[in-house]
Amino acid sequence: MAENNIYEEFGLRIKELRKSRKLTQAELSQLFGLSKTAIVNYENGSRKVPLELIVKFAEFFEVSIDDLTGMVTDRTVLVSADERTIRVAKRWHKEFGSDALTEEEAEQLITYAKFLIYMRTEK
């Protein structure tokens, strides 16, 4: 997928999710500490989106990064991915408990997992 297409897909998906939550561009910009112009530019695909912001949008809208960027077009795949995620989380909890990592360490682990997934999809 071309780089521009990723930003266009991201913009379309953010717009769709924003509207589904009945948020205006101004409201979304306030929630993220961005200008309304930035939201407009993200939605029309004319502005590159930093990875950190993509992650924040994914967390806010409770979707995967792949879903936001158009890397997954069949959302039924996401359901099975979510089920797998739940299984992994339960296994983690059983093996290590809930206090195994600090918040910072957990964020680093998540970032590393995203990197591994990205590398796998780029092959």
Q: Does 65 lie in the same domain as 47?
A: yes
The pTM for the full model equals 0.56
Q: What is the pLDDT of residues 18-57, one digit of tens each?
A: 999 999 999 999 999 999 999 999 999 899 888 889 889 9
- What residues make up the domain containing 39? 3-69
- Examine the fold and report which residue of 69, 93, 108 is the final residue of a domain before the chain moves on: 69
Whether residue 105 is predicted with pLDDT greater than 70 in this model: the reply is yes
Q: Structurally, how many domains does the chain consist of? A: 2
8 lies in the same domain as 58:
yes
Of 49, 69, 89, the last residue of a domain is 69
Q: What is the pLDDT of residues 74-102, one digit of tens each?
A: 555 445 556 666 667 777 777 777 777 77
Give Cβ neighbours of residue 55 (< 8 Å, ≥ 6 apart): 65, 114
Dist CA 88 CA 45 (whole Å): 34
Is the domain of 79 the same as that of 56?
no
